Structure 1
Amino acid sequence: MNKMILADNQAIFRAGTAKILAMEDDFRVIAQCGDADRLYQTLETFRGATFIFASTLKLDLQNFMERIQVQGSRCIVIVENNESTQPFISAGVHGAVHRCVTGPGLIDCARRVNRGERGVQGASTGVGPLEEDLVGTRVRDRLTPKEMKIVALIVQGCKNKEIAMRLTTTEQVIKNYLRSIYDKTGVSDRLELALFTIHHRILAEAAAAASDVMLQAN
């Protein structure tokens, strides 16, 4: 059984990764971390585990890799879609994937790293940047401003009650909006919606802009 530890400051993406790994018999997620401090604490607690960590945690790679080696552990970095994996591979990170990685691509990368391979590059969606942007643009243009605000809050991990309070409406109204959003994006639940948004840069940027508008309004 491969012991996996997830470290990512994007809670919804962390939850999606855990869901993907849980479907495989040879992986067990034994801990999750939302920040660098928690990651280092967990590293000292569990030996021989594989850490999947986000580049957005801004770790001191040299220090981190030294501690990984001492603990007999391995690690895979999740980099942003427009970010290069090369600096991490050069620093000794065992594997690297982009946020747009497919579930099978992530699993394949994790298995190869756990077999002892180094410098493993996980397969992405196989969709080119232009095509991916077209998908994100098409969905963005189908969503109303109110729906985009709801998407932004979903990505932040908000529940329906909190979304309703933020948008001064009722939970039932939010549920109605979500049904419309699911139809327009082709997803079936809030986790898939969040991951779909993160994987499409244009849509993610639109959600971030909607979030900024809400913050300015408050």
Structure 2
Amino acid sequence: MSIKLVIADDDALIRESLKIILANDKEIEVVGIFENGKDVVKFLLDNTVDIALIDVRMPLVNGVIATLEISEKTNTKVIILTTFDEDEYIRDGIKNGAKGYLLKNTKPDKIIETIKMVNQGNCVIQDEILIKLSNNLGKEKIKESNIHESIFTERELEVMKAISEGLSNKEISKALYISEGTVKNYITSIFQKTGLSHRTQIAIYYIKGYDFSHS
């Protein structure tokens, strides 16, 4: 079965371009395009759709608020389109249940790949976005109580932070002066404690957990 998808963006050129690009993939069916968050939410409440590709900045209802309503009231998975100057929107989008984040200049094949991965149940955030969020996260004060009450060891937290910064296992082993095997063991422990199954999910969990005080 094809992946039923809607596109919401207030820029007509982007909407139409995405529709043409995505419709060329045999596994994707574009069932609607919208210019504001209010209309796309209304459509999704009345129709069964797999993926919603949503711009952050839209009239009437922005992408972040639309994401919350879609996540709470439908089974549609949201992928947010963003730009580098929208950190606050990105973090609020994570909090509101978005499953994917793409920069607007992402290549078509990457957009298609992300849509398919999210449809399969994965969370996907581009490395550039993760790194930017992590850098900004490091500038913000983290409450000591959050760390002390954590289910994770100090080393596990270091590994999670490194993953959120986009480091590979090899890079983490060098940064923390431990073997790659030990890194894998820590990641396995993190998976077991969180019920997660993918590195990107760990990054999202870390950013959510400490940026939003586990909300």
Superimposed CA distance per residue, residues 60-99 of structure 1 (whole angstroms, 9 cap, x where no aligned partner): 7366424334321111000124333343223320001011
| Equivalent position amino acid for 1:121 in 2 | I
Using the alignment, how far apart are the partners of 1:33 and 1:63 within structure 2?
Answer: 12
Mapping for residues 17-96 of structure 1, pairs under 5 Å: 17-57=18-58, 59=62, 61=64, 64-84=67-87, 85-96=90-101
- Write out per-residue CA displacement over residues 196-217 of structure 1, whole angstroms, 9 at most, x where no aligned residue: xxxxxxxxxxxxxxxxxxxxxx
Q: CA RMSD in A?
A: 2.1
Distance 2:37 2:92 in 1: 19
1:98 is aligned, of 70, 95, 103, to 103
The verdict on how the C-alpha distance between 1:91 and 1:59 changes in structure 2, with shifts beyond 3 A counting, is same
Q: How many residues align?
A: 123
Identity, in percent, stands at: 17
Distance change (3 Å), C-alpha of 1:22 and 1:122: farther
Change (3 A) 1:77 1:116: same
Question: What CA distance in whole angstroms lies between the structure 2 residues aligned with 1:3 and 1:37?
Answer: 19
Structure-2 change in CA distance of 1:13 and 1:87 (3 Å): same
CA distance in 1, matches of 2:68, 2:44: 11
| Aligned-partner Cα distance in 1 for 2:66–2:19 | 26
Amino acid at match of 1:74: K
Do the aligned partners of 2:8 and 2:53 also contact (CA within 8 Å) in 1? yes
Paired letter, 1:102: K
Summarize the Cα distance change of 1:2–1:101 in structure 2 as closer, same or farther, 3 Å threshold.
same
CA pair 44-97 structure 1, distance change in 2 beyond 3 A? same
Letter in 2 for 1:29: V
Q: Does the Cα contact within 8 Å between 1:43 and 1:68 map onto a contact in 2?
A: no
Q: Which has the higher contact order (CA 8 A, sep 6+)?
A: 1
- What amino acid does structure 2 have at the position aligned with 1:80? T
TM-score by length of 1: 0.51
Q: Secondary structure in 1 aligned to 2:86? A: coil
C-alpha deviation, 1:36, in angstroms: 1.9
SS of the aligned residue for 1:97 comes to strand
Q: Which stretch has the larger CA shift, 57-66 or 15-24?
A: 57-66
Matched residue of 2:57: which SS? Answer: helix
| Partner Cα separation in structure 2 for residue 15 and residue 62 of structure 1 | 23
Q: Which runs of 5+ in 2 are unaligned?
A: 129-215
Q: Does 1:108 align with 2:113?
A: yes
| CA 51–13 in structure 1, closer or farther in 2 if over 3 Å, else same | same
TM-score by length of structure 2 reads 0.52
| CA distance in structure 2 between the aligned counterparts of 1:101 and 1:117, rounded to whole angstroms | 18
Q: How does 1:1-218 map to 2 (within 5 A)?
A: 1-57=2-58, 59=62, 61=64, 64-84=67-87, 85-118=90-123, 120-122=124-126
Which amino acid in 1 is paired with 2:80? V
**Is the contact between residue 54 and residue 63 of structure 2 (CA under 8 Å) also seen in structure 1?**
no
Runs ≥4 in structure 1, deviation > 6 angstroms?
Answer: none
- Distance in structure 2 (CA, Å) of the matches to 1:52 and 1:34: 12
Q: CA deviation at 1:29?
A: 0.2
Contact 2:49 2:76 (C-alpha < 8 Å) held by counterparts: yes
